[in-house]
Chain A
C-alpha cells in the first residue's frame, strides 16, 4: 500500500504527471494573459502541448564542434533537478517527501538548471551561445544571492528549514507575506531572474543573442529545455506560495487545492504583469540592481526578522 501511494506521489501527484500538466497550463495562462494585456488574442489552450510534441518530433541538429554527450545530458540533468525539487515542494499540503532542511535542498536543486543552462551555452560552439552562457552566469550571481536571502526570511521566521513545516507554522500564526512584504518582493524579482523571464531575459534576449545558450539546440533537446523552464516556473511559484502565502485554507470554507491554485495563479499573474510592464535591463544594470539594491535590502530584511524574532 505504501509502495503504491509512494509511486503515485512520485509519478502522478504531485510528481511527474501533475508537474507536466501544470507546467503546460501555466505556460498557456501566462502567454494568454500577456497577449490579452497587449491587446492580442493569444494561443489556444493546446498550444504549449502542440509545441512540445512538435519539437519532440523534429530533427535534432547539433553543430559539429559541440560536445554531443554533454548536449544530450544537460537538459536531462536540468529537468531531473527541477522534478526532484518538485517532490519536496508541497502542493496544497501534500509533498511527495519531506525532511528537516529540504528548503536548502530545493534551493540547491533549483539552481542546478541555471548551471546546466550556462554549460549548454559553453559546450555549443556558437558565438551567441557562448555570450548567452556568460550572461546567464553573470545573471545567476546577481539574482541568486538576494533570492536565497529572501527565502531565508520565512525559515527564520518559522524556525524551521522544512517547507512543509513552514507552511504548517504559517497556518498557525500568520502569512509570512504580512510580516515580510519586502522579502516577498525580493523573492519575486529573484524568481523572474531565475526563470529568465521578461524583463530579465538577458541571457536569451532575442534581439541581442538570438536564443542565448539554446541557440544551437533543436528537436528533442530543445523540447526538454522548454519543459524544464516551464516546470521551473511551476516549482518556483509553488515554492513562493508555500513560503510566503500562508496555510492552505481559509478555515474549512474552501478546499485547500482550490485556495492553493488561486494563490499560485496570483503569483503567476504578478510575473506576467512584470513582463508586460518593464523593458529588458542590460546585464551590467542587473548586476548593479542585484548587488547595490537587492542584496542590501535582503540584509535589512534578515536583520529585521532576526531582531523581531529574538
Chain B
C-alpha cells in the first residue's frame, strides 16, 4: 500500500494551538510521525531577564492560558524562598484554593476538547458549561476568568469574606453533581469507551523512559503527585487521595482526571473550612539577594519546575521554566505508532497538550 503523509497543523480543526505533525499513513494505519514545535515560542525565558521580579509575575501568568495561576504560584514560591519570606497563612490558603479550582477548570476543559475531537459534541458542551462554574468562582474571587493576577510576591492580592465563602461552597456542590454526571456518562457510554479504550497506550516503563508527569503518568499506574510527595504550600495539611489507574489508555486518563476534579472539590471545601484569619500578603523587598532556587509544583498537567537565579539585583539573572507538556509531547511518538488515522485525534487530545506552555 502506498504511503501518504497527512499534515496535521500548524492549523487544523483538531488542534486548538499551533503544533505541526506530519503523520505518514499506510491506508488507515499510522507508520511514522514527525513533530515541530515553536509556533508560539515567545522567548519568555529571555524576556524575564529584562524585567523586574514584580513584572515577571505577570509575565509568568502568560506562559499558559489554562494553568496560569500555577505558574505564578511556582514562580512566587521560588522568589519567596530566595527572599526567605514567610507568606501569611491566609495567603497560602487562598493561593491553594485557586490552584485547585484551576485544576477543575483545566480538566473539564480537556474533557471538552477530547469529546469534541471524537465527535461527542454533547459532552463537549456540558463539560465546558460546568467548567463555567469553576470559572465563575475564580472570576468572582479575582476579577479574571483566566488571567487571575492573584499571586504577588509575598502572598495574594485578593481576600474573601464570609458571604463569598458561603457562595463558593454552594457552587462547589453544584460542580460536584455535574462532575458525577459526566463520570457516569464516560463510564457507561459505549461509544465513548470503544473510542478511548486501548487507544494511546502508555506502559509504566514508557512513562518512566520519557519522564512523563501528571495525570498521564498516573493513568499508567505511576503514582507520582508532587502535592503529596513534596508538599509545597499547605498541601501537607490537607487530606486527599492521589488517583491512579492501571489501564494506561485515554479512557483511564479521562477517569483519572475526572476523579481528580472530585478530589479537588473536596480540597476546596477543606481549604474553605479551615481558612485562617489574618493578612493575605506581606511586603516583599524589590531586590532579591543573590542565590539560586529550584521550585516545583503540581500543575493540572503535572510537574512544573522553575529554576531561578538571582544576582542580587531587582531582575532575575536566569529563569528556567519547564512545563509538563514537553515530556508528554515526546511520549506521543510511541503512542501514535500503529494507531488508526481516526485515533490520531483521540491520542493527541488524550495527553492534554498545551502548546503555549511547551513553547513558552
Contacts and interface: CB of A to CB of B under 8 A. Distances in A.
A281 B191 contact: yes
Given A198-B119, A279-B189, 20 more contacts: A34-B121, A37-B122, A38-B121, A39-B125, A39-B126, A131-B25, A131-B341, A199-B120, A207-B119, A207-B345, A208-B341, A208-B345, A210-B12, A276-B121, A278-B189, A279-B191, A280-B118, A281-B194, A283-B28, A284-B28
Given A198-B121, A206-B13, A279 B115 contact: yes
A53 to B, nearest CB: 25
- Chain A interface bracket (under 10, 10 to 19, 20 to 34, 35 or more): 20 to 34
A208 B344 contact: yes
Interface of B: 4-7, 12-14, 25, 28, 115-123, 125-126, 129, 189, 191-192, 194-195, 340-345
Contacts of A201: 119
Contacts of A277: 122
A280 B14 contact: no
Contacts, number: 84
A199 to B, nearest CB: 6
A300 interface: no
Most buried by B among A37, A208, A275: A208
Nearest to B12: A210
Contacts of A199: 119-120, 191
B119 A282 contact: no
18 contacts: A34-B121, A38-B122, A39-B125, A127-B5, A128-B6, A131-B6, A131-B341, A206-B119, A210-B13, A279-B118, A279-B189, A280-B119, A280-B120, A281-B194, A281-B195, A282-B195, A283-B342, A284-B340
A279 B195 contact: yes
Interface string A265-302: 00000000001111111111100000000000000000
A49 to B, nearest CB: 23
Contacts of A77: none
B201 to A, nearest CB: 16
Closest 8 CB pairs of A and B: A280-B119, A279-B120, A38-B125, A279-B191, A207-B117, A207-B345, A207-B14, A278-B191
Interface in A40-68: 40
Given A201-B119, A279-B191, A280-B120, A39 B129 contact: yes
Contacts of A209: 341
A118 to B, nearest CB: 15
Contact of B119 (A37, A38, A205): A205
B7 to A, nearest CB: 7
B261 to A, nearest CB: 19
Interface of A: 34, 37-40, 127-128, 130-131, 198-199, 201-202, 205-210, 275-285
Nearest to B15: A207
A209 B28 CA distance: 12
B5 A279 contact: no
A16 to B, nearest CB: 32
Contacts of B7: 127
Contacts of B344: 208
Contacts of A282: 194-195, 340, 342-343
Nearest to B190: A278
Nearest to A35: B125
A199 B121 CA distance: 10
A130 B28 CA distance: 12
Contact of A40 (B6, B14, B125, B195): B125
A239 to B, nearest CB: 26
Nearest to B125: A38
Contacts of B117: 207
Contacts of A131: 4, 6, 25, 28, 341
A270 to B, nearest CB: 16
B194 to A, nearest CB: 6
Contact of A127 (B4, B120, B125): B4
Contacts of A128: 6
Nearest to A284: B340
A138 to B, nearest CB: 9
A276 B342 contact: no
Contacts of A208: 14, 341-342, 344-345
Contacts of B120: 199, 278-280
A24 B126 CA distance: 27
Contacts of B189: 278-279
A207 B116 contact: yes
B28 A279 contact: no
Nearest to A40: B125
Contact of A285 (B122, B129, B194): B194
Nearest to A198: B119
